[in-house]
């Protein structure tokens, strides 16, 4: 089914009810006289080349290059809204506590009965102003301006005496506040990017997708507020090689790079993924085999052997911390690594004796 978005993108409407060809028989794929339909296929590279320069080209570039897929999390704005909701909820909370204290001393029956009117529960949670109007005012044929103002003031005061109104006002605010808290927690899980990576994105927008005025660049100015939704951020370990104009960067681009339609060299992240996995696997083997080789080939005392095991455990934890592993991964990995070294050390001691 063709959606409005796909129609805006220029997809054909042939065979769709309500289109200009609605009275014609649908054309089966591969049976048309002039085309097979395959020419309508397009990949991310085609989208990147076909969109206009500006906001469309920025979005297409972020789609095409994962290392440019960064976005604002608006952390200050989130905290500003949270503080605003906190102050309003705290005021409502204090007002409710004041009413409870007043009822405890003068009208404790109000604390033990329903806090709402069952007759109006299904109609609305907001009582009409007529509830708070005195009988004399309701039945008076005419009301002066002064009386109306007093009536309005009385109604407003009475609303703050209604616990049901206060509780009903708290509910949506409290729900929105909790949702914002959970949203902030989930946003903290997204990986933050470095200032070097932000600068590369800013230069990309400014040089290849120029915007017309300074306010258009406003979303880019908070360089510590950007995160990425890319899960496999291989390039973060190669930032010093990818970003900046250095001889090492030019060499890396010749090895791992690819040229776009503007003859700009870009790093191919797929090759970097393979390269990083090979490096990580090799370094993991070194961290495991090197202490084993030392304990096996060098004649060490028990104290020296213990120092070797502790030193390489520290190196293993440092490597996991550098790779931004969370605490449970570090603890589980350290336990397994330590178990291997201790088991080997124990078997080595038994072999010597």
35 and 83, same domain (yes or no): no
> On the CB side of 179, how many CA atoms lie within 13 Å of its CA?
6
31 and 89, same domain (yes or no): no
Whole-angstrom distance, CA of residue 156 vs CA of residue 169: 15
99 and 160, same domain (yes or no): yes
104 and 169, same domain (yes or no): yes
- DSSP state letters, 5-59: HHHHTT---TT-TTSTTTTSPPPPTT--SS--SGGG---HHHHHHHSPTTHHHHH
Picking from 323, 318, 315, the residue whose alpha carbon sits closest to that of residue 341 is 315
149 and 88, same domain (yes or no): yes
Domain end marker among 189, 214, 233:
189
Quote the tokens at residue 292: 């084993």
pLDDT of residue 171: 92
9 and 89, same domain (yes or no): no
226 has which bridge partners? 72
Q: Is residue 108 part of a domain?
A: yes
Q: Is residue 207 part of a domain?
A: no
Q: Which domain holds residue 309?
A: 272-352
Q: Is residue 206 part of a domain?
A: no
DSSP secondary structure letter of residue 244:
S
This prediction's pTM: 0.61
185 and 284, same domain (yes or no): no
Whole-angstrom distance, CA of residue 120 vs CA of residue 164: 11
Domain end marker among 164, 189, 214:
189
Whole-angstrom distance, CA of residue 254 vs CA of residue 247: 11
Q: How far is CA 11 from CA 31, 197, 306, 330, in A?
A: 18, 36, 69, 50
pLDDT of residue 277: 80
Q: Is residue 146 part of a domain?
A: yes
Whole-angstrom distance, CA of residue 136 vs CA of residue 156: 18
101 and 157, same domain (yes or no): yes
30 and 87, same domain (yes or no): no
> Sign of the C-alpha dihedral, residues 221, 222, 228, 234?
positive
Domain end marker among 170, 189, 208:
189
Q: Is residue 70 part of a domain?
A: no
E strands, the chain, in order: 70-72, 226-228, 257-259, 265-267
245 φ/ψ angles, rounded to the nearest 5 degrees: -105, 95
Whole-angstrom distance, CA of residue 227 vs CA of residue 69: 9
33 and 124, same domain (yes or no): no
Question: How many domains is the chain partitioned into structurally?
Answer: 3
Q: Is residue 154 part of a domain?
A: yes
244 φ/ψ angles, rounded to the nearest 5 degrees: 95, 160
Q: Is residue 252 part of a domain?
A: no
Q: Is residue 341 part of a domain?
A: yes
> On the CB side of 211, how many CA atoms lie within 13 Å of its CA?
16
103 and 179, same domain (yes or no): yes
83 and 35, same domain (yes or no): no
Taking only the tens of pLDDT, the chain with its 353 residues reads 333 333 333 433 344 344 444 444 544 444 445 557 777 888 887 888 889 999 999 999 888 887 788 999 999 999 999 999 999 999 999 998 988 888 887 777 777 777 777 777 766 544 444 444 444 444 444 456 655 565 655 555 567 778 888 888 899 999 999 999 999 999 988 888 888 889 988 988 998 899 988 899 999 999 999 999 887 776 676 676 667 667 777 777 777 766 665 555 566 666 767 777 888 888 888 888 888 888 888 888 878 888 888 888 898 888 888 877 788 888 998 888 888 888 887 787 777 66
CA 342 to chain centre: 41
Whole-angstrom distance, CA of residue 327 vs CA of residue 321: 9
Whole-angstrom distance, CA of residue 259 vs CA of residue 187: 34
């Amino acid at each position: 089914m063709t959606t409005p978005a796909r129609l805006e993108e220029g997809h054909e409407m042939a065979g769709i009810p309500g289109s200009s060809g609605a009275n014609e028989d649908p054309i089966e794929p591969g049976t048309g006289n002039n085309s097979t339909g395959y020419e309508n296929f397009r990949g991310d590279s085609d989208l990147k080349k076909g969109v206009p320069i500006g906001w469309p080209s920025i979005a297409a570039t972020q789609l095409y290059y994962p290392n440019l897929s960064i976005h604002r999390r608006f952390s200050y704005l989130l905290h500003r809204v949270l503080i605003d909701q906190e102050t309003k909820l705290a005021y409502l909370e204090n007002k409710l506590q004041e009413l409870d204290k007043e009822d405890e001393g003068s009208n404790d029956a109000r604390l033990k009965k329903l806090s709402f009117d069952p007759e109006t529960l299904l109609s609305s949670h907001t009582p009409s102003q007529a509830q708070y109007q005195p009988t004399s005012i309701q039945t008076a044929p005419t009301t002066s301006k002064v009386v109306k103002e007093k009536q309005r003031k009385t109604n407003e005061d009475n609303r703050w005496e209604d616990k049901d109104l206060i509780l009903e006002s708290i509910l949506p605010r409290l729900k929105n506040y909790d949702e914002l808290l959970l949203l902030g927690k989930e946003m903290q899980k997204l990986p933050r990017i470095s200032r070097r990576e932000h600068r590369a994105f800013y230069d990309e927008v400014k040089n290849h997708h120029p915007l017309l005025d300074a306010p258009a660049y406003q979303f880019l100015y908070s360089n510590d507020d950007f995160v990425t939704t890319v899960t496999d951020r291989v390039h973060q370990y190669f930032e010093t090689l990818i970003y900046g104009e250095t001889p090492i960067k030019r060499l890396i681009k010749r090895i791992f790079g690819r040229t776009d339609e503007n003859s700009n060299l870009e790093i191919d992240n797929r090759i970097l993924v393979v390269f990083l996995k090979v490096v990580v696997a090799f370094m993991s083997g070194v961290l495991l085999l090197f202490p084993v080789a030392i304990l096996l080939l060098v004649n060490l005392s028990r104290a020296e052997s213990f120092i070797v095991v502790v030193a390489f455990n520290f190196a293993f934890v440092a490597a996991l911390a550098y790779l931004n592993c969370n605490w449970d991964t570090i603890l589980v990995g350290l336990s397994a690594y330590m178990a291997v070294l201790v088991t080997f050390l124990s078997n080595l001691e038994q072999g010597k004796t």
